[in-house]
Structure 1
Amino acid sequence: MHKPLSIAFIVRDPLPPLRADVLTLFGAEMPRYGVHTELVGQSGSEGGAPWPAGGMHMVGSLKSRFASVLSPLWDLRGLLRARRKGRPDCIQVRDKIASGLLGRLAAALLRVPFIYWMSFPIVEGFEVRRDEIGSRKKGLKWFAHALRAAASRFVIYRLVLPGARHMFVQSEAMADWLTAQGFDRARMTAVPMGVDAGLFDRSTVEPVDDPRLIGRRVVLYLGRIAQARRSDFLLDVAEQLKQDVPDVLLVIAGDAASSDEMDWMRAEIARRGVGEHVLLTGWLPQRTALGYAVRAEVGLSPIPRGTLFDVSSPTKLVEYLALGIPSVANDIPDQQLVIAESGAGLCAPMEAAPFAAAVRRLLEDRALAAEFAKRGPAYVRSHRTYAILGRIVAETYTKIMPRQG
């Protein structure tokens, strides 16, 4: 019998975890391979379930106004608590910069491998925020953001990543991007976003009973609303579609991070006069959101191009395909790959006319849409479930940390 592996895992997301690439991948899949996790981080989510795959050490709260400054100290306390349960086989840090350096130092002291998990280019996100502020006024606030961006770039690319025995990244595009910056591709494993096959089984989803959908050609966007994600592009598409498909209804099933963002979206809908063709649901329980999804004829996944999103792995396209929804996605690399491999959707640039034309094609060509609907679930089952991704991650750990018999 192999000795189980134990990972001390510092995460950026609030605990208890809600994201599937932590909750499902590490909470459900990794234990199947004898990999147990001591989660370390800050509280802040509405989840309340105990961590099923090891231990959870919450120190501090992301709702604190001092969280950005204190989180490395909180993570150190969490690591010390996790250490009481025994020496981990590795220390892994996800998307944290100062705590990434802390994790590298702790791993060196304990003489265990240090692993970094990059799901988002945090430094580049800081630089985008710096530039947004600088475009308005270069005052003290801009200087603070510029300093944060510069210090973060030095720490992550000069001190943290060079000391990682291995890096898990969000996509093949992210691996290529880091390779171009001088990091060894052999030290990276791409783990794109996947789905829980049981949860996204169409046969288990009850269609929502909403009279507003009756007699309408429903197209769907399932996800967050944000100006940074150019969510008003969905309204551009709706304006194009209603000219030729007068009974079209765009269902935007999701919420925004703030009430200001939702107010902005509602104002845009009113300004454009597309209220009859757009249903903005706001926050929904997941099963209800999926109930809207299975009422849709086409799923939409437009993601802005640029440094931040080109290396991402959007979940919504894979969710649509798992549910058998023919989809239109734009041309960020991971979406291009999924569309090409699955043959279950169309790829179009994030421009209103060609994107709307692709949606219109699926609404008009029911035979093509039906063929796409059949291909999607089969592709996801063979490529993008967390059971499959879990096997890839577990095999990587066994190479990084050979087990003792």
Structure 2
Amino acid sequence: MRSILFVVRDPLPPIRADVRTLFGTEMPRYGVATELVGQGGSGDASPWPAGGMHVVGSLRSRFASVCAPLWDLLGLVRALRHGRPDCIQVRDKIASGVLGRIVAALLRVPFLYWMSFPIVEGFEVRRDDIGRHGRGLKWLGHALRAWASRAAIYRFVLPGARHVFVQSDAMADWLAAKGFDRSTMTAVPMGVDAQLFDRANVEPVDDPRLDNRRVVLYLGRIARSRRSDFLLDVADRLRANNPDVLLVIAGDAPSDDEMAWMRREIARRGLDGHVLLTGWLPQRTALGYAVRAEVGLSPIPRGTLFDVSSPTKLVEYLALGIPSVANDIPDQKLVIDESGAGLCVTMEPVPFADAVLQLLNDGALAAEFALRGPPYVTSHRTYDILGNNVAKTYKKILTESR
């Protein structure tokens, strides 16, 4: 059994499928165990089935952003008491990425990095947002963080990584354009748990607010950075063409302020009778809403932060046999083109709403798309498929390092 010492950014125990399912279920099937290091705060009490879990600190602490690297260092020390790992891997952490590379060098094991989001560029967007209101001490703090993070990631962490796992082929190409070796990267797009997203295993939710309505669905987080109010632009146009349409937004916001903002926008536009904002839901309940929808929506803003992403929601819709409308970020366009199970348009209210209406009005086309989605996901985007590819990469890296 090979062992990965894995420092993660997300709260522990992991609830994201690309950690929980990929490393907790799939990797052990290929003889790869994982010792997780990170902070608590997920609210899940499930044990980690694939090795050890070393939780130090909590992401709910107000000091988490400052203390996390120190907590991770303590977690690494604790994990190393259980033995020397075959490699050290860090996901989406910058200071801890520096620590991980140093510790890996001391242990003479490969250092790997997992990049699911361009964190540095996210810091720079935040810096620029603050700068629009003046360049005070707050701006200076964010500017220093962005500068230091860029230097750490692009001059030390990634150059020292034996291999880099990225979110999409678009992200790999983006890093290659910065001068990093494309051959040392593996794209691991988001996938789904085949059993969980089998429509036959999902019980439709019993909510009378959906009865006799043409339900369209957005399954995911709400945030200003994601331009979530775009969904309301689409809902407004749908209402004008079909008053029976109900947009169900099944998801939560990262803060109470952002959720309040979304509710205000719904009220301001007079959409209370045409938009149902559920807030946080258990996954099974959210899927119960999903299978009552006729069309799934996946609008993702274009730009550096999201063009290299691999959104889960589109793949989830297709797995459940829900005809979908998505915009043209590279990974979504690839999925739509390969699957033939949805429509891909620009992220503008008129073409997006028109595509939704096309599916609502053309039952034969919607039925055809619904049939195409599940087999595509089964053959391309389930975690057993992705896990096989990832395991091959680990086998090659860890064999070469011996």
**CA contact 2:218–2:298 (8 Å) conserved in 1:** yes
Aligned equivalent of 1:71: 68
1:217, 1:179 → 2: CA distance? 45
2:256, 2:217 → 1: CA distance? 22
**CA contact 2:110–2:401 (8 Å) conserved in 1:** no
Structure 2 residue aligned with 1:130, among 119, 127, 131?
Answer: 127
- Equivalent runs, 1:370-381 vs 2, <5 Å: 370-381=367-378
1:389, 1:353 → 2: CA distance? 36
**CA contact 1:134–1:142 (8 Å) conserved in 2:** yes
**Structure 2 counterpart of 1:343, one-letter code:** G
Matched, 1:31 2:12: no
Matched, 1:183 2:180: yes
Matched, 1:292 2:302: no
Structure 2 residue aligned with 1:328, among 325, 328, 332?
Answer: 325
**Structure 2 counterpart of 1:268, one-letter code:** E
Aligned equivalent of 2:106: 109
Aligned equivalent of 2:243: 246
2:323, 2:5 → 1: CA distance? 40
Aligned equivalent of 2:346: 349
Matched, 1:228 2:261: no
Q: CA deviation at 1:223?
A: 0.7
Q: Deviations over 1:169-204 (max 9, x none)?
A: 000000000000000000000000000000000001
- What secondary structure is seen at the aligned counterpart in 2 of 1:350? coil
Q: CA deviation at 1:164?
A: 0.3
**CA contact 1:7–1:88 (8 Å) conserved in 2:** yes
Aligned equivalent of 1:57: 54
**CA contact 1:208–1:288 (8 Å) conserved in 2:** yes
Aligned equivalent of 1:208: 205
2:68, 2:237 → 1: CA distance? 46
1:369, 1:94 → 2: CA distance? 38
The 1:404/1:33 distance shift into structure 2, 3 A limit, reads farther
**CA contact 2:113–2:163 (8 Å) conserved in 1:** yes
**Structure 2 counterpart of 1:82, one-letter code:** A
Matched, 1:6 2:3: yes
**Structure 2 counterpart of 1:81, one-letter code:** R
Structure 1 residue aligned with 2:89, among 92, 98, 103?
Answer: 92
Aligned equivalent of 1:217: 214
Structure 2 residue aligned with 1:319, among 316, 327, 332?
Answer: 316
**CA contact 1:5–1:403 (8 Å) conserved in 2:** no
What RMSD in Å do the two structures reach over aligned CA positions?
Answer: 1.1
Q: Deviations over 1:91-118 (max 9, x none)?
A: 0000000110110011110000000000
1:22, 1:404 → 2: CA distance? 24
2:114, 2:292 → 1: CA distance? 36
Matched, 1:270 2:267: yes
**Structure 2 counterpart of 1:135, one-letter code:** R
- What secondary structure is seen at the aligned counterpart in 2 of 1:276? coil
2:97, 2:285 → 1: CA distance? 38
Structure 2 unpaired stretches of 5+: none
**CA contact 1:300–1:327 (8 Å) conserved in 2:** yes
1:127, 1:364 → 2: CA distance? 43
1:403, 1:142 → 2: CA distance? 45
- What secondary structure is seen at the aligned counterpart in 2 of 1:9? strand
Aligned equivalent of 1:308: 305
**Structure 2 counterpart of 1:172, one-letter code:** D
Aligned equivalent of 2:362: 365
Q: CA deviation at 1:404?
A: 10
Structure 1 unpaired stretches of 5+: none
Aligned equivalent of 2:40: 43
Q: CA deviation at 1:282?
A: 1.2
Q: Which moved more, 1:69-78 or 1:163-172?
A: 69-78
1:70, 1:205 → 2: CA distance? 41
- What secondary structure is seen at the aligned counterpart in 1 of 2:93? coil
Identity of aligned residues (%): 79
Aligned equivalent of 1:140: 137
Q: CA deviation at 1:275?
A: 1.3
Q: CA deviation at 1:403?
A: 8.1
Q: CA deviation at 1:63?
A: 1.7
Q: CA deviation at 1:66?
A: 1.9
**Structure 1 counterpart of 2:345, one-letter code:** A
- What secondary structure is seen at the aligned counterpart in 1 of 2:296? strand
Q: CA deviation at 1:307?
A: 0.6
**Structure 2 counterpart of 1:389, one-letter code:** L
2:207, 2:62 → 1: CA distance? 41
- What secondary structure is seen at the aligned counterpart in 1 of 2:124? helix
2:225, 2:167 → 1: CA distance? 20
Q: CA deviation at 1:123?
A: 0.3
**Structure 1 counterpart of 2:278, one-letter code:** T
Structure 2 residue aligned with 1:194, among 191, 198, 212?
Answer: 191
1:223, 1:373 → 2: CA distance? 20
Matched, 1:152 2:170: no
**Structure 2 counterpart of 1:67, one-letter code:** A
2:67, 2:264 → 1: CA distance? 38
Q: Which contiguous aligned blocks of 4+ residues in structure 1 show a shift greater than 2 angstroms?
A: none
